[in-house]
Amino acid sequence: MSSGSSTSLKLEHVSHHFGSNFVLDDISLDIAPGEVVALVGPSGCGKSTLLNIFGGLLQPTKGHVLMHGEPRSDCLNPLTYVFQDFALLPWRTVAGNISLGLEGKMRDEDARRERIGEMLRLTGLADFANAYPKQLSGGMRQRVGIARALAVRPACLFMDEPLSALDAQTRTLLLEEFAMLIARAAITTVYVTHNLNEALRLAHRIVVLSRRPGRIKAIVGIDLPIEARREGDPDLVVAEKRLWSMIRDEASAADRELDDAR
């Protein structure tokens, strides 16, 4: 796949309230073109909310989201999501689901078929083009989710716990595949997860959010190229230790607050 997103993202002093629920507190963050940023933090700290603000699905109570750089000329949908629950249309085949974002935008039927074929091959789905989602395992369904997302050549990719609904073995397999796909495509990506291992495997930088209201507690950069990362790499082990202690502090503080409220 030809590649490279030239779009950068910027959050400027973003805060958000849902009614009286103070969810995000003064988040500023720059994401470079082609950079993969993972957002980690305890459950309920506002990760999905922040992702929705990034993608323009939600207007923050305060602050701004800025996008810079023209999407490539073949981009059919600049801001594209991959969700935890796959969000496939059950009455469409695998090929039909991948075709979704192309229809009405890619008029040439041959070109569309070619794009769908490319995505099927890229995600290991070539033999499943005519299968329906209910005939597929969870792992295969999420392969369709990423195939559909990459098919439109997005400028920015937003992934909300895309592997969290899968069993451990499938998650490990798919993590490897997603890491390579995202790295090769060089798309500006925000990847939400509560799983540190995922963040360490596929992100250039890991943003740790505090418990709610989510604030940026730390940003940990990992210099090792994504394609070269292996389990047990010393750089990853060091980063993991640092991250773990921060997240543990936040999670146990959040638990204590829950206990106090009981």
Ligand X SMILES: Nc1ncnc2c1ncn2[C@@H]1O[C@H](COP(=O)(O)OP(=O)(O)O)[C@@H](O)[C@H]1O
> What is the contact surface with ligand X in residues (CB under 6 A)?
18, 21, 23, 43-49
DSSP characters for 67-109? EESPPPTT-S-SEEEE-TT----TTS-HHHHHHTTTTTT---H
Choose the one of Mg ion, ligand X, none that binds residue 254, judging by a C-beta under 5 to 8 angstroms depending on kind: none
Please report how close the Cβ of residue 154 comes to ligand X at its closest, in angstroms: 21
Residue 210's binding partner out of ligand X, Mg ion, none, with CB under 5 to 8 Å set by partner kind: none
| Identity of the residue numbered 106 | M
Give every CB contact of residue 221 below 8 A, 6+ residues apart in sequence. 204, 205, 206
Residue 21 binds which of Mg ion, ligand X, none (CB < 5-8 A, kind-dependent): ligand X
Tell me which amino acid residue 208 is. Answer: V
Tell the smallest beta-carbon distance from residue 47 to Mg ion (Å).
5
Q: Considering beta carbons, is residue 45 or 140 the nearer one to ligand X?
A: 45
Nearer to Mg ion, 5 or 80 (CB): 80
Choice between 45 and 179, CB closer to ligand X: 45
Sheet holding 8-18, edge to edge: 21-31, 8-18, 62-68
By three-state DSSP, how is residue 140 classified?
A: helix
Question: Nearest approach, Cβ of 47 to ligand X (angstroms)?
Answer: 3
Q: Which does residue 46 touch among Mg ion, ligand X, none (CB within 5 to 8 A, set by kind)?
A: ligand X
Q: How far is the CB of 158 from Mg ion (least distance, A)?
A: 12
Instruction: Work out how close the CB of 143 gets to ligand X at its nearest, in angstroms, rounded to a whole number.
Output: 23
Whichever of 43 and 245 has its CB closer to ligand X, that residue is: 43
Task: Using DSSP, state whether 60 is helix, strand or coil.
Answer: coil
Residue nearest Mg ion by beta-carbon distance: 48
Residue type at 183 in one-letter notation? A
Q: Answer yes or no: are the C-beta atoms of 181 and 150 closer than 8 Å.
A: yes
The one of Mg ion, ligand X, none whose footprint includes residue 45, by CB under 5 to 8 A per kind, is ligand X
- How far from the centroid of its chain's Cα atoms is residue 156's Cα? 10
Which one of ligand X, Mg ion, none is in contact with 117 (Cβ closer than 5 to 8 A by kind)?
none
Instruction: From the list Mg ion, ligand X, none, pick the one residue 91 interacts with, judged by a Cβ distance below 5 to 8 Å according to partner type.
Output: none
Residue type, 123: T
Smaller CB distance to Mg ion: residue 159 or 200? 159
Residue 159 CA to residue 189 CA, distance in Å, equals 8
State the Cα–Cα distance between residues 86 and 100, nearest whole angstrom: 14
CB nearer to ligand X: pick between 116 and 209 = 209
Q: Which is nearer to ligand X, 23 or 149 (CB)?
A: 23
Sign of the CA dihedral with 164 first, then 168, 169, and 173 last: positive
Q: How far is the CB of 133 from Mg ion (least distance, A)?
A: 22
The answer to whether 185 and 150 are in contact (CB under 8 A) is yes
Q: Are 80 and 152 a contacting pair, CB within 8 Å?
A: yes
Residues that bind Mg ion (CB under 5 A): 47-48
